[in-house]
Amino acid sequence: MIRVDGVLVSKGQGGVYGEKMMKGFRVWDPYRSKFAALAMIRSDKPETELTEDLKVLYLGAANGTTVSHFADYTECIYAVEFAPRPMQDLIEVSRRRKNIIPIMADAGNPVEYAPFVESVDMIYQDVAQPNQAEIAVKNLPFLKSNGIVILMLKTRSVDVTTDPKNVFLDTLKELEESGLSVLDACWLEPYHHDHACIICRKIM
């Protein structure tokens, strides 16, 4: 991935969400994108690298800001979003980038979009639901063997009354018990408070 003077950028056309431009590249702000935060914190991890042959299932695409940066680097993104208002923005983003396939569906019910999604190399999940680990596991049939799962864990969405560290540990356990191999886990401070990232490999 591209960095200019230590700043993470992508090479696509700007003006998607008012992002800054730097030497002809789009600035990928780690305070606005949890994946950009991960890429800054774990810059040495190959699992955080996006490549042009990568096919991604993106769960919780929202308005398409991070999705648009993914599209600058990867072959194809299946972008799943449930809420109607963000979906309107996501569709507009997809008009400008032909490798984004917007899908309006519930990420917790993958049977809804199974006919439209081929096997992918990565599942990236950023869903603010209490059952975030369960949602990731339900979508594993789309992931190729040795594929990567990147789960952005919003601990306060899981249980606002529980210590975020305990939510983090419980989620790690649930993912491991599903058969995933946890490769790395970290907090996204100072960019995102009470947010963590868990990176897994599908070994089945």
**Is 81 labeled as ligand-binding?**
yes
Domain membership of residue 22 (yes or no) is: no
**Is 127 labeled as ligand-binding?**
yes
Domain membership of residue 25 (yes or no) is: no
Task: Spell out the residues 6+ positions from residue 46 whose beta carbon is closer than 8 angstroms to its own.
Answer: none
pLDDT tens for 145-173 read: 999 999 998 877 776 777 778 888 888 89
Rounded CA separation 146/135 (Å): 19
**Is 52 labeled as ligand-binding?**
no
**Is 66 labeled as ligand-binding?**
yes
136 has pLDDT over 90: yes
Mean pLDDT of 73-82: 96
Rounded CA separation 96/52 (Å): 18
**Dihedrals φ, ψ of 10, to 5°?**
-135, 165
**Is 136 labeled as ligand-binding?**
no
Residue type, 155: T
Domain residue limits at 46: 30-202
Domain membership of residue 20 (yes or no) is: no
**Is 128 labeled as ligand-binding?**
yes
Domain membership of residue 104 (yes or no) is: yes
**Is 116 labeled as ligand-binding?**
no
Domain membership of residue 24 (yes or no) is: no
Q: What is the count of structural domains for the chain?
A: 1
Rounded CA separation 34/37 (Å): 5
pLDDT tens for 80-125 read: 999 999 999 999 999 989 999 999 999 999 999 999 999 999 999 9
Domain membership of residue 134 (yes or no) is: yes
Domain membership of residue 37 (yes or no) is: yes
CATH code, domain carrying 45: 3.40.50.150
Asked if 32 and 65 count as a contact pair (C-beta separation under 8 A), the reply is yes
Domain membership of residue 4 (yes or no) is: no
**Is 114 labeled as ligand-binding?**
no
**Is 112 labeled as ligand-binding?**
no
**Is 65 labeled as ligand-binding?**
yes
